[in-house]
Amino acid sequence: MSIGVAVLGSTGSIGRSTLQVVARQRERFRIVALTGHSNKDLLAQQAAEWKPAFVGLVNGGTASCLVEAATHPDVKIVVNGIVGAAGLEATLAALRAGKRVALANKETLVMAGELVTEAARQGGGEIVPVDSEHSAVLQCVAGRRPTELARLILTASGGPFRTWGPERVSRATVAEALKHPTWTMGKKITVDSATLVNKALEVIEAHFLFDVAYGQVDVVIHPQSVIHGFAEFVDGSVLAQVGFPTMELPILYALTYPERVPDTGVRRFDPVAAGTLTFEAVQLERFPAYGVGREAARMGGTAPAMFNAANEVVVQLFLDEQIPFGRISEVLERVVAHGHPGDATSLDDVLAADAEARRLAKEFACS
């Protein structure tokens, strides 16, 4: 019997890659539910091809369709490929219903990490990361005891502005920010990769996924995006996961974890073709927003939720050409400094912090 899969955000970059992976694994998996937001035509096309039991359109339909898709009785695995806070309710509902959530939607783990991990504990669901760095770490630590793990090192490509001076970066255009050197992704995460906010979100994501203290999560710039993450163990030994950049591998692993299945869909690794691999320390002067995100992580409580919500607002303002690139980190810094972070143990607290940060970000961006 094949395993039922729901793909939330099936029209996006992660959603489309997921359907490509499942297309090669049709004897193992079947698509039970698909949801889209505004790309109605592509969703209709996907529905015609996959004939799922459930199809939900958020925009023009209702947001509750996400929860319906995520908790459908025939679904065992929910791939959450939604961008931003909108994915939270569905993740919570799926985990409470005992499903596996293959999580790409990192924003919701950042905003409500305690609630999400608690929902998994309560409902017997499990969170398996789709994010390539976290998939890498999971592949390195799978089968080890948590006490054997000493440190994680997440890699970052450094984005399109890695070698630019701060002055030029502050005036970068939308087109320049969307030109990612190694990955093709949705617009929001591509901008987050240019500011390195993405890596701050991933540090927080790693904290909740692997139950490690923030002091045990380091980041290194690795422009070739061939090594996706390292795990250092207490004896000093370090494992890394390696491959040419593709999301299809981490998506497949999130579906089959802890097993591996044969798949010939991705380019096989070749060290000679990979060439020279280089590593650089993150320079905070060049990526100030990354420093703000780490500070929000250190503050804890609802501070990460506020950082995430403010970032969603300013990234959209930047994409709409309402603010210059340099403004993103300025606004984030002000929101994290001026907000009033509290406990993140109830959904109401988290949603209130999210709303306060959105309001502050709009106010600071326009002043």
Closer residue to ligand NAD, CB minimum distance, 63 or 347 = 63
Residue 89: HSE in the Cβ half-sphere, 13 Å Cα cutoff: 10
Between CA 320 and CA 309 the distance in angstroms is 17
Interface ranges with Mg ion (CB under 5 A): 131-133
| Least spacing, CB of residue 109 vs Mg ion, in Å | 12
| Least spacing, CB of residue 219 vs Mg ion, in Å | 11
| Binding at 304: pick from ligand NAD, Mg ion, none (beta carbon under 5-8 Å per type) | none
Between CA 97 and CA 199 the distance in angstroms is 30
**92 vs 42, 49, 125, CA distance in Å?**
27, 29, 9
Considering only 12-20, 44-52, 117-125, 355-363, which stretch makes contact with ligand NAD by CB under 6 A?
A: 12-20
Residue closest to Mg ion when measured from CB atoms: 131
| Binding at 30: pick from Mg ion, ligand NAD, none (beta carbon under 5-8 Å per type) | none
| Least spacing, CB of residue 27 vs ligand NAD, in Å | 26
| Least spacing, CB of residue 288 vs ligand NAD, in Å | 20
Nearest to 155 by CA among 299, 29, 281: 281
Buried residues in 58-78 as b, exposed as e (16+ CB within 10 A)? beeeeeebbbbbbbbeebbbb
Closer residue to ligand NAD, CB minimum distance, 57 or 364 = 57
Residue 307: HSE in the Cβ half-sphere, 13 Å Cα cutoff: 33
Please say whether the beta carbons of 113 and 92 come within 8 A: no
| Contact flag: residue 301 with ligand NAD (CB under 6 A) | no
Considering only 32-40, 156-164, 306-314, 337-345, which stretch makes contact with ligand NAD by CB under 6 A?
A: 32-40
| Contact flag: residue 81 with ligand NAD (CB under 6 A) | yes
| Contact flag: residue 117 with ligand NAD (CB under 6 A) | no
| Binding at 186: pick from ligand NAD, Mg ion, none (beta carbon under 5-8 Å per type) | ligand NAD
**252 vs 28, 239, 247, 266, CA distance in Å?**
11, 21, 9, 11
| Least spacing, CB of residue 188 vs ligand NAD, in Å | 6
Which spans of this chain sit near ligand NAD (rule: CB under 6 A)?
Answer: 9, 11-15, 36-39, 58, 81-83, 86, 104-107, 131, 183, 185-186, 189, 247
